Each structure stands twice: as structure tokens, then as C-alpha cells.
Structure 1
Amino acid sequence: MATRLIIEGTVQGVGFRQALKAEANALGLAGWVCNRRDGTVEACLRGAQDDVEALVAWSRHGPPGARVTGVTRFDADDTEIGGSGFHIAGTR
């Protein structure tokens, strides 16, 4: 299952990307996370459905210090995700 997320709120400058990467790695997901110029965080991930759903649920609150006001979810294509592992990508 592949999913793209756009996470809104106070999500930059609070360690959101690093915490999301740690959660994704713990769940064995592949993909990436990045800051966007509009102040949101974007993540694209692939893995078992239960693990993807767990990360989506986590993203609705994020790490301490984050204030998530919305999570928009889209279907993603495997080509958007790339290889294995989970990494922090550059700003989009």
C-alpha cells in the first residue's frame, strides 16, 4: 500500500520529520518525508496496510511540540517512493 500525506499545522521546526522517520523505520515502511515551502510537511510511504495506517494515525498528532491541524491523504504510486528504507528529502 502506498500513500502520500500532507500534514498541516505547526509541523516545521518541531522535529516532525525526524520523528516521522523514526516511526516509519520502526514500522518497516519505505519512503520519504520533507518540508514544503508552504509550511506543511509531506510524506510518501509504502508498506503493509496496518503499518501504513499506524503511521497515518501517528501523523495526526506528531511529536511533542507539533500542533497538527489537518492531514490530507492521497493514493501514491510506487514510483513516487523510490527504493527501500525511509529518508528525509529536501524541501519541495
Structure 2
Amino acid sequence: MNEDVRVTAWVRGQVQGVGFRWFTRANALRIGELAGFAVNLGDGRVQVVAEGPKDRCDALLEWLRTGDTPGRVDGVAEIWATPRGGYDGFEIR
């Protein structure tokens, strides 16, 4: 069963000012069936929130960790939860 989930990921490294949020959104749209956002945080990290089928969230998380991302990813921490809803697609904030 591939129920809908919510993953919140915090990406650290050189991930601001390099198009990271734009590429994250593009990959979320490519993977499909994901809603959420990517936002720069004041401490230099990017926060990514995605809701959708677990395999799709897993695919986005895998891309964040090992994909061809802009900048440099030094690490990704994540938490899983039940979806809250309320997102209209995947956006950059």
C-alpha cells in the first residue's frame, strides 16, 4: 500500500543562491503527485516539505541526498508525518 505521507527535510550545505529551490520544485513536478514547498531558512539551510504517495516522497528525498543538485549538499535531515493538506501544487517560497 502506498498511502499519502508528509516529509519535511532540512538540507544543509551550499544550497542558497544557487537555484536549489527552483531545481527542487522542478524535480517534485517531474516525480509527480507531490504538493508542498521549498523555502530558504535564515541559517543557510533549505527546508523542503512534500506531501503525496510515500514512494514519490522517497524519490524526492533520494534526489535531495544524491541527485544532481545545484550547489553542494552536505546533509539532509528529515521527519515523516501524516499529510496536513492545503497545498496547491509545489511552490517556491
Provide the TM-score with structure 2 as the length reference: 0.84
Greater share of residues in strand = 2
State the alpha-carbon separation in 2 of the partners of residues 39 and 62 from structure 1. 20
Structure 2 unmatched ranges of 5 or more: none
| Cα distance per residue 1:13-43 (max 9 Å; x no partner) | 1110000000111122100110000000001
Q: CA RMSD in A?
A: 1.6
Summarize the Cα distance change of 1:48–1:6 in structure 2 as closer, same or farther, 3 Å threshold.
same
Structure 2 counterpart of 1:20? 24
Instruction: Give the C-alpha shift of residue 62 in structure 1.
Output: 5.0
State the alpha-carbon separation in 2 of the partners of residues 27 and 64 from structure 1. 15
1:59 and 2:59 are equivalent in the alignment: no
Structure 1 counterpart of 2:38? 33
1:44 alignment partner, SS class: strand
Aligned pair partner of 1:3 in 2, 7, 28 = 7
Summarize the Cα distance change of 1:77–1:37 in structure 2 as closer, same or farther, 3 Å threshold.
farther
State the alpha-carbon separation in 2 of the partners of residues 52 and 61 from structure 1. 14
Provide the TM-score with structure 1 as the length reference: 0.85
| Cα distance per residue 1:43-78 (max 9 Å; x no partner) | 100111111111000001454542111100012453
Does the Cα contact within 8 Å between 1:14 and 1:66 map onto a contact in 2?
Answer: yes
State the alpha-carbon separation in 2 of the partners of residues 33 and 19 from structure 1. 10
Structure 1 unmatched ranges of 5 or more: none
2:48 alignment partner, SS class: strand
Aligned-pair identity (%): 39
Aligned pair partner of 1:83 in 67, 80, 87 = 87
